[in-house]
Chain A
Amino acid sequence: MIIKVNNLVKRYDELIALDHFNLEVREGEIFGLLGPNGSGKTTAINCILSLLKYDKGTIEIYGRPMAPDAYDIKRNIGIIMQNVAVFDELTVYENIDYFCGMYIFDKQRRRELVEEAIEFVELDSFRKFLPKKLSGGLLRRLNIACGIAHRPKLIILDEPTVAVDPQSRRKILEGIRKLNEEGATIVYTSHYMEEVEEICTRIAIMDKGKVIASGTKDELKGMINSGEKLTVEILEFNPNILEGVGSLPSIVSVDYNENNNMLVAKSRRGKNNLSALLEYLRNNQINVGRIYSEPPTLNDVFLEITGKELRDHV
């Protein structure tokens, strides 16, 4: 076990930011911590890193209790904060070199590692730039390079893709996967479920300071009652159709959008939901156009457990 957090409670005065928070991260995985804004992801990370005081609970990293002066543990951690943490007066190269130098004493080795990090985030042509000359996406990449240059075994990234253009985001996600392939264990927080779903091998979903569900994405989707979302184009609509489809045993809810003539039905977990729907439509001589079936998403998981959307827009 790389990280083990047990019943962590953290309060900011009256506000309970972490409420008996539990977490286990295993070696070699890309662990995703998914939760809406303000759910306590950053607070959890900062407590795990011993940056924040907490009220209750235990935190172990590599099987040993984490503490501010646990330097041998810290030596193996790379941290990429949610906010860019680089020095304005130092160039790209110098920033990476400065932070890398906290871990690596040998100058020659350090130079190699800094070069590798620069290459990794593709900032080679910007090495002499000061941070304020970098665009948001490049700055994020510098921020990442500062956290990983010393080749830590455990890398914690707190929303590294916030406010990043799609191209940089793609690079960052690819990079994270590459670091993982090279042997690092990754903890990744985000409120973008698509990202988490794409790269994480295991996921914990947070809400209001608690982990409400955790497991692989299939396990998570298996926990809920909703199955696929079925979308069917119906050109000649009448209200009876809604009623009829709604009464099908495999359908949970149904809706019709007059603007694009789409009928959207959410099905229960189970097999043959789509064929049951199509069979009903055929039997009633209703002509159908395009048809889609989408598997449940983490948003559905979140929605079902908490009764609200993970994000306002999907």
Chain B
Amino acid sequence: MFLHIYLYRLKCIIRDKQNVFWTLMFPLILATFFHLALSNISNMESFTEIKIGIIDNEELREHKEFTEIIESVPDLFNVTYVSRTNADKLLEDGTIEGYIHFDGGLKLFVRESGINETIIKSFLDDYMQTTSTINTILSQNPAAIQDGLPDSLFDRKDYLKAGSAGKSEPNTVMNYFYTLIAMTCLYGSFSGLKEVTALQGNLSYQGARMNMAPVHRAKIITASMSAAITFQLLVVSTVLVYLIWVLKIDFGNQTGYIALTSLISTVTGVTFGTFISSVNRKSEGVKVGILIGTTMTMSFLAGLMYDKMKYIVHTKAPVLSFLNPANLIADSFYALYYYDTYTRFFSNIALLCGYSVLFGALTYLAVRRQRYASI
């Protein structure tokens, strides 16, 4: 029985072309659009090794530790040793992005200024600072070098962050995509709305027929909601796959947690729709309008259209950022990618679960009643 209702409801949702367009095609189009608009900024998110040249000369050979250190970060730099004239040529035709010349001190030659150039420069700055640190340490405590001190001083991640600091911050770029996913999850509300309409006697004639079925209300409700959640999960997965594999946007590699976030966010979206649909008797068109309005506002406040918005809300009205499901969803992906600890992630997830339970319970209370004041 559950399965019978579930499968048929799923069929109905999937065949609803308008619903499929808005919940699936629209986010995909928006993602593509974002990608085109932001691809310069987000270049560094799909980071590839920076090709650099080093002028091979006497002075370089005197600084053996430099060669060692630069080769200790192979995933950051792809090094070619060249002569000065060759280096200029390579720089000119773009084979390398800069070259380093020991010429009475460390000198960096670059062609333009960009993220990669900033990374090379900050690496060199660090090197110079660190060598003096190491010299100091060595003179005071020669044993320290055996504890792997230099390693920790040159960490690839630091340079990625340093590089990004120069340009627009990468996390705000990523945030566009995180809020896009958040919006997609919340668009589950449209299917939620559709399902409640289809099972409520005072919302549709089909619902009245469903009311006459000798099937327990809770069963119809859970089967219908499961169908909506299944559909929206398929949508969210498709959008995620598109972002990660086609647009090459890095969501990190914590697949399990990403799936968990998607699931809970989708449930939040669907229950939000069932809630809005079940607590008022406005026409379906009006309710769709309400859903578009609220999900757009939430996504906007989470930074969908303007990257500083998230920050503004967070500083000016911090409560709002906890109340806004779109922000909680986007921030969960953000926390997964940028944080090593899970405190922030799980507090977001807990709040989202809270919302789902709240919306779900309110829906059930409104929908389980079967005798209506008017039809």
List residues of A whose CB falls within 8 A of some B CB. Answer: 12, 46, 49-53, 68-69, 71-72, 74-75, 77, 79, 81, 83-87, 89-90, 94, 98-99, 101-103, 105, 146-147
- Cross-chain contact A102 with B214 (CB below 8 angstroms): yes
- Cross-chain contact B15 with A51 (CB below 8 angstroms): no
Give the docked Cα–Cα distance between A94 and B8 (Å).
Answer: 8
Q: List 20 interface pairs A-B (beta carbons < 8 Å), by A numbering.
A: A46-B375, A49-B212, A51-B372, A52-B372, A53-B371, A68-B370, A71-B214, A71-B216, A81-B205, A81-B209, A87-B12, A89-B15, A89-B16, A90-B12, A98-B8, A101-B4, A102-B4, A102-B210, A102-B213, A105-B1
Q: Which residues of B contact A53 (CB under 8 A)?
A: 371-373
A87 contacts which of B206, B211, B212, B213 (Cβ < 8 Å)?
B206
Q: Which residues of A contact B374 (CB under 8 A)?
A: 12, 52
Residue with the highest number of chain A CB atoms closer than 10 Å, among B12, B206, B375: B206
Give the docked Cα–Cα distance between A46 and B208 (Å).
Answer: 9
Main secondary structure of the interface of A (DSSP, over half): loop
Number of A-B contacts (CB under 8 A): 83
- Cross-chain contact B206 with A74 (CB below 8 angstroms): no
Q: Which residues of A contact B201 (CB under 8 A)?
A: 51
Known: A12-B374, A50-B370, A98-B8. A72 touches B214 (CB 8 A): yes
B215 within 8 A of partner (CB):
yes
Give the docked Cα–Cα distance between A99 and B212 (Å).
Answer: 10
- Cross-chain contact B371 with A51 (CB below 8 angstroms): yes
Q: Which residues of B contact A46 (CB under 8 A)?
A: 208, 375
List B residues 208-237 near A (Cβ within 8 Å): 208-217
Given contacts A72-B214, A85-B208, A98-B8, 6 further A-B contacts (CB under 8 A): A52-B373, A52-B374, A81-B208, A81-B209, A99-B213, A102-B215
Residue of B nearest to A68 (CB): B370
B111 within 8 A of partner (CB):
no
Residue with the highest number of chain A CB atoms closer than 10 Å, among B1, B5, B213: B213
A68 → chain B, closest Cβ, in Å? 4
A94 contacts which of B1, B11, B205, B370 (Cβ < 8 Å)?
B11
A70 → chain B, closest Cβ, in Å? 9
A47 → chain B, closest Cβ, in Å? 9
Residue with the highest number of chain A CB atoms closer than 10 Å, among B1, B209, B215: B209
Q: Which residues of A contact B291 (CB under 8 A)?
A: none
A79 contacts which of B12, B15, B209 (Cβ < 8 Å)?
B209
Residue of B nearest to A72 (CB): B214
Q: Which residues of A contact B115 (CB under 8 A)?
A: none
- Cross-chain contact B213 with A103 (CB below 8 angstroms): yes
A157 → chain B, closest Cβ, in Å? 13
Q: Which residues of B contact A94 (CB under 8 A)?
A: 8, 11
B208 → chain A, closest Cβ, in Å? 6
- Cross-chain contact A51 with B213 (CB below 8 angstroms): no
B198 within 8 A of partner (CB):
yes
- Cross-chain contact B205 with A74 (CB below 8 angstroms): no
Known: A51-B372, A52-B371, A105-B1. A68 touches B214 (CB 8 A): no
Q: Which residues of B contact A72 (CB under 8 A)?
A: 214
Give the docked Cα–Cα distance between A52 and B217 (Å).
Answer: 16
B375 contacts which of A52, A69, A90, A102 (Cβ < 8 Å)?
A52
Residue with the highest number of chain B CB atoms closer than 10 Å, among A52, A53, A90, A102: A102
Q: Which residues of A contact B206 (CB under 8 A)?
A: 85-87
Q: Which residues of A contact B16 (CB under 8 A)?
A: 89
Closest 8 CB pairs of A and B: A68-B370, A85-B205, A102-B213, A71-B214, A89-B15, A74-B214, A75-B214, A89-B12
List B residues 1-19 near A (Cβ within 8 Å): 1, 4-5, 8, 11-12, 15-16
- Cross-chain contact B213 with A74 (CB below 8 angstroms): yes
Known: A12-B374, A68-B370, A94-B8. A79 touches B212 (CB 8 A): yes
- Cross-chain contact B370 with A51 (CB below 8 angstroms): yes
Give the docked Cα–Cα distance between A68 and B370 (Å).
Answer: 6
Give the docked Cα–Cα distance between A72 and B11 (Å).
Answer: 28
Known: A46-B375, A52-B372, A103-B214. A83 touches B205 (CB 8 A): yes
Q: Which residues of A contact B210 (CB under 8 A)?
A: 102
Q: Which residues of B contact A74 (CB under 8 A)?
A: 212-214
Q: Which residues of B contact A68 (CB under 8 A)?
A: 211, 370-371
Residue of B nearest to A54 (CB): B371
Q: Which residues of A contact B5 (CB under 8 A)?
A: 101-102
Residue of B nearest to A103 (CB): B214
Q: Which residues of B contact A90 (CB under 8 A)?
A: 8, 11-12, 15
A81 → chain B, closest Cβ, in Å? 6
Residue of A nearest to B19 (CB): A89
B11 contacts which of A69, A89, A147 (Cβ < 8 Å)?
A89
- Cross-chain contact B213 with A84 (CB below 8 angstroms): no
- Cross-chain contact B212 with A51 (CB below 8 angstroms): yes
B374 → chain A, closest Cβ, in Å? 6
B208 contacts which of A51, A77, A98 (Cβ < 8 Å)?
A51
Known: A51-B201, A71-B216, A90-B8. A146 touches B209 (CB 8 A): yes
B141 → chain A, closest Cβ, in Å? 75
Q: Which residues of A contact B371 (CB under 8 A)?
A: 50-53, 68
Residue of A nearest to B368 (CB): A68
Q: Which residues of A contact B12 (CB under 8 A)?
A: 87, 89-90
List B residues 149-186 near A (Cβ within 8 Å): none
List B residues 324-375 near A (Cβ within 8 Å): 370-375
- Cross-chain contact B205 with A84 (CB below 8 angstroms): yes
A289 → chain B, closest Cβ, in Å? 52
A42 → chain B, closest Cβ, in Å? 8
A37 → chain B, closest Cβ, in Å? 17
Give the docked Cα–Cα distance between A50 and B215 (Å).
Answer: 14
